[in-house]
Chains A and B, each alone.
Chain A
C-alpha cells in the first residue's frame, strides 16, 4: 500500500513569512513528485513538479526533494493571503497514477 503523508494543519503563517509544507512517502520506487494547490470548492491546480533530488525554484515557490529520506517539501516565500488553500502532495512511481496525500491547509493571515 503506497502511502503519502501530510500534516492536515492548519498551518498558520503571517503575511510575508515563509510557509513550509512537508510530505513523506512510503514507496522508494517513486519517481515523480507534485504539489497541487486546491482552493475551497475548486479542483486542484498544479504548482510544482520535481523529479530529482535537490531544490527546484519557480517564483515564490521552491520544491525540495530528498529521495533517501523519502520526503518532499514546498516552501512559499513572501506568503500572501491569496496563498491560503489546501496543498496536496502527489507521488507517482511510473504508473502515471499518482497517490495523493490528504493535503495541508495553509492560512496566511494579514
Chain B
C-alpha cells in the first residue's frame, strides 16, 4: 500500500522559533498533498492543499505567511510554522493523494506533534 512518512514525529520548541515538518510519499508520486491540524478531541481541520510546483491553496482563516508550504518535488512537501506560539501547539498531519484502483485516495502520514513552550 501507499506509505507516507512525516518527520519529525514530535517537536518541542520555544515560542518565537520556526519549525519545519517534512512529508514524504515513499512509494508513489504525489502531485497533491494536504496539511491538516488536529486539536485534542477535535476533528481534522484542513489547512492547505499543496500542489507540486505551484503555490499552496490555503483554507479560510489559515495565515499563509505563518504556515509556509513548499512542494518542491513529487514526493516531498514541507510545512514551516514560523514564529511559533503556544496556541500553535497541535497535531499536524499531512496526506498525499495516491491512486487506489481507479480512484484517488488520501494516504495519511503518521503526524507530527508540535509543542510550543
Contacts and interface: CB of A to CB of B under 8 A. Distances in A.
Q: How would you classify the secondary structure of chain B's contact residues: helix, strand, loop or mixed?
A: strand
B107 A51 contact: no
A3 to B, nearest CB: 12
A17 interface: no
A100 B43 CA distance: 8
A106 B74 CA distance: 36
Contact of A43 (B32, B42, B100, B111): B111
Given A88-B43, A97-B49, A51 B105 contact: no
A46 B44 contact: no
Contacts of A51: 103
A46 B43 contact: no
Q: How would you classify the secondary structure of chain A's contact residues: helix, strand, loop or mixed?
A: loop
Contact of A98 (B42, B106, B113): B106
Interface string B79-117: 000000000000101000100100111111111010000
A32 B111 CA distance: 24
Contacts of A49: 100, 103, 105
B46 interface: yes
A16 interface: no
Interface in A18-44: 32, 34, 36, 41-44
A42 B93 CA distance: 9
A42 B111 CA distance: 7
Given A88-B43, A102-B43, A96 B109 contact: no
Given A41-B91, A46-B107, A102-B43, 19 more contacts: A32-B103, A34-B105, A34-B106, A41-B113, A43-B91, A43-B108, A43-B110, A44-B44, A44-B108, A46-B105, A46-B106, A46-B108, A49-B105, A88-B44, A96-B97, A96-B104, A97-B34, A98-B106, A100-B46
List the 9 closest A-B pairs by CB distance, nearest first: A43-B111, A102-B43, A43-B108, A43-B93, A100-B44, A44-B108, A43-B110, A96-B104, A96-B97
